[in-house]
Amino acid sequence: MTRAPAGAPRLTTGASFVPEPHLLDSPRGRDWPRPPLAPLPPRDDPPSHADVVVVGAGPAGLAVASALWHHGVRDVVLLDRGGRACGRFFARTDLLGQHVLRSPYEHHPGVEGFRDCELLDFARLHWGRLTPTERREVRMAQAGHRSVVPVDVFEAYCEHLVTTHGVAERICRAVVREVLPADDQVVVHTDRGTVTARHVVLCPGEERVLAPSSWWDGGAAPPGVTYWDEPVARDARRQVVVGAGLTAAHLVTGALEAGREVHWVIRAPGEHYQCADVNAKFFRPEGRARIGGVPWADRLELFARYRRASIMFEFRPALERAEAGGRLVVHRGEDVTRIAAGPGGTVELRLAGGRRVAGDTAALALGTKPEIGLGLLPASAVGERDGWPELDERTLAYTHAPRVSVVGAAAGMVLGPAARNIDGHRVATARVAHAVAGSLRREGSSVDAPPRSEVKAGV
Ligand SMILES: Cc1cc2nc3c(=O)[nH]c(=O)nc-3n(C[C@H](O)[C@H](O)[C@H](O)COP(=O)(O)OP(=O)(O)OC[C@H]3O[C@@H](n4cnc5c(N)ncnc54)[C@H](O)[C@@H]3O)c2cc1C
């Protein structure tokens, strides 16, 4: 992808994109001005009734709650394990040392079809707090080019959404254990009580993919082995990283910055660098049309082809330098077959080619897997097929439980690989919020009419 010159000189050579690694170095933890209404602490216990229960308050749940607010639906409760909007998202990015989003400014959890302050507007409002590099990225976004969004800006924007859409007072810290759909209501059992709702929107996100059982003999991982969403021992001097995606790249970079010697095991023949998480066409209607409504086997094939681990271009120069300097050893085209304790408290990985790689610690970044409702809903309601739920393509409601719908990665077989991304949530949210608000109105719930001036003509 080529980036046009803007402000300071851009490093572009013909049609090939030369990355600027310093884009990854956005400051984190700046003191943003608080929105006029400071967010309230999460509610203690969920209420016994609500028009809509949203399970999960990540970027997807926040988008749903904001959209319902615009639709005039006020009796909404968000149930989240951590009790903080987008808490898990920021905990994960901070643990990895990820300071910028992979998605550009136009991907934001704001509301489609309603006038609102969007992520780019928000960044412009806080121009004085942005670094010169961050300002250039805002200009890139304004000019319609790919842009890099600081996690700091995104977090402050999420807080803005929470405050301006009445979300803070609707979040309860609770673990949802069971969602039982009936004809006229849905009963949601949590560790802090039961809520009966007219509609439930599942936004539980994704969980880490676990190592195959053949890597060790079941049970807990061998000492020294961690997953990407767990802290790595600080005193490690030699670290092995397994995986080929952006998360693995963050782990490798973090380990190099901590002065460790790193061994990186990649199953594919080599690293794959690209701007976005998935091919850009899947963020557009024509890309989504390639998956929605086509035969199931074609969807699976498309998904397998395009949902491929990749790394932002900006990582490339530093990783190549580290490899050339011998601090990073990359084992390309190698499958792990076994992980076990090694001599002297180390952990040893056996590779399919016969090689053994040892480290003080091994971090596994094997990808993520959508939560599709299994374990919460009855299996008959999920209608699981090849790991995906059976959904109404128009409303994203479960075919066998029409009062329960999904926003997030679980909608992948309808919206394509971008369903797991912030932009996919916005597309899914527009469908779900419209359907849920319409149903509540038909059933006579008190839904405020959105102010006429708020609705964008023709969207
Ligand atoms: C490190 C990392 C970086 C990423 N960067 C980007 C990016 O830059 N741009 C982008 O578009 N996408 C990015 N993604 C993809 C990203 O996962 C999504 O954009 C976003 O986090 C998904 O939002 P979500 O609300 O679906 O899930 P989450 O953010 O995971 O939120 C789900 C919430 O639901 C809660 N929950 C789940 N089950 C229950 C239950 N039973 N009871 C109560 N609460 C429950 C969870 O605790 C969590 O708080 C990234 C992913 C990772 C892992």
| R_g of the chain, CA atoms, integer Å | 23
| Distance between Cα 88 and ligand 1 center (Å) | 6
Question: Which of 366, 390, 405 is at the close of a domain?
Answer: 366
The answer on 158 and 88 residing in a single domain is yes
Q: Is 99 in the pocket of ligand 1 (CB under 6 A)?
A: no
**CATH code, domain carrying 229:** 3.50.50.60
**Is residue 228 classed as helix, strand or coil in its secondary structure?**
coil
* Structural domain contains residue 299: no
* Structural domain contains residue 5: no
The answer on 158 and 56 residing in a single domain is yes
Q: Is 403 in the pocket of ligand 1 (CB under 6 A)?
A: no
Q: Is 102 in the pocket of ligand 1 (CB under 6 A)?
A: yes
Distances (CA, A) of 12 to 172, 239, 435: 48, 34, 46
The answer on 171 and 32 residing in a single domain is yes
- What local confidence, expressed as pLDDT, does residue 18 receive? 63
The answer on 222 and 196 residing in a single domain is no
| Distance between Cα 201 and ligand 1 center (Å) | 15
- What local confidence, expressed as pLDDT, does residue 199 receive? 98
The answer on 105 and 46 residing in a single domain is yes
| Distance between Cα 120 and ligand 1 center (Å) | 21
Count of residues making up the chain: 459
The answer on 347 and 264 residing in a single domain is yes
Domain that holds residue 95: 12-207+369-454
Q: E-assigned strands of 105-232?
A: 171-173, 176-181, 186-190, 193-202, 206-208, 225-227
Count CB atoms within 10 A of the CB of residue 384: 15
Helix axes 246-257, 316-324, angle to 10 degrees: 50
Domains in the chain: how many in total? Answer: 2
Per-residue confidence in pLDDT tens, the chain, 459 aa: 434 434 333 444 445 566 677 888 899 999 898 776 655 666 678 999 999 999 999 999 999 999 999 999 999 999 999 999 999 999 999 999 999 999 999 998 878 788 889 999 999 999 999 999 999 999 999 999 989 999 999 999 999 999 999 999 899 999 999 999 999 999 999 999 999 999 999 999 999 999 999 999 878 899 999 999 999 888 899 999 999 999 999 999 999 999 999 999 999 999 999 888 888 888 888 888 888 879 999 999 988 888 889 999 999 999 999 999 999 999 999 999 999 999 888 999 999 999 999 999 999 999 999 999 999 999 999 999 999 999 999 999 999 999 999 999 999 999 999 999 999 999 999 999 999 999 999 998 877 765 544 444 322
The answer on 345 and 237 residing in a single domain is yes
The answer on 267 and 121 residing in a single domain is no
- Please state, in angstroms and rounded to a whole number, the distance separating the CA atoms of residues 67 and 203: 14
Cβ 241 vs Cβ 264: under 8 Å: yes
